[in-house]
Structure 1
């Protein structure tokens, strides 16, 4: 295997600086491919190490579907660490996680900042997760695609791959670095056996990423402070727009601004739930057809059909809110 198969050496060096690991601990991939590779290699490692036929895994839920569907395909026993709701917003309860852990739990899959709710785990609870995984010999897969998007001026959580050896971090340029078209991401782990396995597995899929895309990703990482400054400015402006909008329509929407991420999970109330065929799905279908505004109903995540995922990472949000206001005006009973 050539060094370039794992990613351009200079790009891997920049990624290593970001996560405080060595360049050999970095594999450049496309994000979706990275999830597929990591899950297959982790489950294979558990089978060879423990003789597991069906590994027990815990994953945050709702979540990006690949994070758990790959595990179902691999015949894992999957339990969901379900998001909860309080007066302060969405959150994950550490007591629920502790109850889900079994003696044969091999893997914990987490996603913070969390898509779709935007929830950011407190630092002390993140440290507790790492301590639990190390003490119970549980691998940690951390989807950190929305990392560095903290909109409350707090410091980002330390990457899983920085904090512990038995972990894999997924990150990339698609979200906070604002370059989704490059399709460049990376897997980082200090577990050398697992990294060797992932590099070999990748040879049977894409072999390597686009060389021009890797160079552009390298340029982005070397200029990440300027890019992040722009991203956070967009988030701050859009959160003000959303705060004004949801105060105006608090009778039909329940919105709690997230501490991080560029997504939020908004609860629908009242007559909005009776539009179309009913529920969030009916609302989203009519909104897209009549106003050209796209939101994802929570049913897409196989979650209760009374919420919508709202993305607010774009510069044209104000125009979407204008169209949404007009839609609400036309359809209000």
Structure 2
């Protein structure tokens, strides 16, 4: 039986033009990224701060404008929707943000916060729905009469998840949704996210800088570096058999007892590389930090190579390429 993806992303680009005096700099925040996601699965998007992963997520769910490429949700294009169409889309796509306190109105009671999307989309039986939703995320009904500042960070994140669930969306984007929580609370929220997925057959995009979190929640992973997709595959392939030099760097930074987290930064050479890209070259942005770089890496971003049917990477420097 053929399984059709719930989400299809093709050659998506999001560039920002920044004025620098008389000069205009083009920031390629997301540059020609493609992937698909099956219903009921979780796709992890991982990369360092500034890699473009959050920009990619927000472009996909249409929180940013002027997106190039194609994004299909349930087979329908969602790029460039008008205001009314975009509001309708919000029933299918919801977001859980990193900072639960900043994303909740401090002047509103929890009851009103959860009810807001139901009210906007004119859903019936709101009272019943609110009670069911707060119980789904493991909080007592009495919390509906509280304000956000009366809750802990983990409890506020549960409210953020409850609000996202209110409209029974097809897709939920988690944007660093557990990174601000301490380890014990983080584990509780991860368990809740997995439980809700199994119970409600939910589909997730999960953005994080932490591969150890993705090992717990994701089915597949895409690795982003400065707007470019450099590797993708099943979560166990990416973590246990990383191929791209940048992915290996991320994997080496997964916390272990007594092991410090160190990501080597590029030196002055990166300024030269950046200038080359600004002048029109389309090379690999990891060039200045790569130990297996070649001269072609400056001129041309590599085509897709396959380690297996499910494991893709983009690198000129890897010699043991296996085309499937």
TM-score (norm 2): 0.33
Say which structure is richer in strand. Answer: 2
TM-score (norm 1): 0.32
